Amino acid sequence: MQTVHTIAQLRATVDQWRGRRERVAFVPTMGNLHAGHLQLVKRAGRAGDKVVVSIFVNPTQFGCGEDYGTYPRTLKQDSLKLAESGAHLLFVPEVSEIYPFGAGHTTQVDVPDLSTILCGASRPGHFTGVATVVTKLFNAVRPHVAVFGEKDYQQLLLVRRMVADLCLPIEIIGVPTLREPDGLAMSSRNGYLSAEERERAPALQQALARGGEALLAGERDHPSLCARISTLLLKSGFRPDYISIRRAEDLAEPQAADSRLIILAAAWLGSTRLIDNLPVTLKNPE
C-alpha cells in the first residue's frame, strides 16, 4: 500500500489507474480505525479495482468545545490495518493541503434541510464541515464509487443528496453498522468510555430495539414511543440528546402510508456522545 500526503501525488497514481480504465473506490475516514472501517474498505474492494482510503481529522466538522484536539491520531496502527484489508493507496493530507486558504476561510458546501435537523440541530455547522470536506476529497481522489457506514445514517443521506444535487459522477454505497458482540455499534468514540460506561453502552441499541418491536407490533404514536425510549435511556444512565422516528428514505417526518422508517438516537454517556439507529420496515403501515 502506497501512502501519499499531497493531492498531486494522489492524482499521479489515480490518473494512471483511470488511464487503464480501472474502477476507483474510495473510503474517507478520520482514522483511529476499527473493524467497522475495515468492513467499509473490504466493501470498497468488491466495488472497485483499486481502493483509496483517506485519513484526515477534519477541523471544520468539529464545534467549539468538541474533541478535535484530542481525537485519537493513530496513523501507524491504521496503516497496518489498511494494508491488511486490501487498500491500495492511503491519502493522509495536512490541514493546509485540504484548506489552502485556511479552514476558517474555505468555500463551503451547504446541503439544505438535512444539515440542520437531528445531529445537525445539536451540532450546528457540523454537516457543512462534512459536506465541504467530502466534496474536496471527492475532487482530490476522483473516485467512481465511495463507501460510507450506515451508523452515521444522516451523513450517508446528506452525501447522497449532495452528490445528486451537484451532479457528481460518483456512486455512493452504504454499509450496515458493524456491532460489538453485546450490540454496541462500533465507533471510534467508544474508546472514550470508562469501563463502567462501556458496560452500560449497549443499552442504547437495546432501547432502539424495544422501539422497533413496538413499531412492528402496531404502535403509531411516535412521540409517546420516543418518550418511552428516552425513559429507558435515562434509567440506563444516558442523557438523551434526541430520539426521533423518521422516514428512512429522506429523514422527513413519516406519513401514515410510509413503510420504511428509521429510529435515530443520540445520547450522552458521561462526556461521550453516542449515536445509533435502527431501520424498521412496517408490513401494513396504515
277 binds ligand PAF (CB under 6 A): no
Total binding residues toward ligand PAF, as defined by CB under 6 A: 10
Nearest distance, CB of residue 148 and ligand PAF, angstroms: 7
Integer angstrom CA distances of residue 195 from 187, 192, 209: 16, 10, 23
CB count within 10 Å of CB 100 equals 10
Within the chain, what is the greatest distance between any pair of CA atoms? 58
7, 17, 28, 215: which one binds ligand PAF (CB under 6 A): 28
Using CB under 6 A as the binding rule, whether residue 244 contacts ligand PAF is answered as no
Going by their DSSP bridges, the two strands 24-29 and 50-55 should be labelled as: parallel
CB of 30 to ligand PAF, least distance (A): 4
Grid cell for residue 77? 496502527
Contact segment (CB under 6 A) with ligand PAF among 22-30, 106-114, 174-182, 261-269 equals 22-30
Residues acting as catalytic residues: 37
Q: Is 58 in the site for ligand PAF (CB under 6 A)?
A: yes
Residues in the chain: 286
Give the binding range for ligand PAF (CB under 6 A) out of 27-35, 113-121, 198-206, 242-250: 27-35
E strand or H helix that includes residue 224: helix 222-235
**What is the 3-state secondary structure of 161-205?**
HHHHHCCCCCEEEEECCCECCCCCECCHHHHHCCHHHHHHCCHHH
Answer yes or no whether residue 25 interacts with ligand PAF by CB under 6 A. no
**By C-beta, is 152 or 276 nearer to ligand PAF?**
152
- For residue 29, the minimal CB distance to ligand PAF (Å) is 5
Query: Binding to ligand PAF (CB under 6 A): which residues in 172-231?
Result: none
Tell whether the torsion through CA atoms of 21, 27, 28 and 32 is positive or negative: negative
Residues forming contacts to ligand PAF in the complex (CB under 6 A) are: 28-30, 58, 61, 130, 133-134, 152, 155
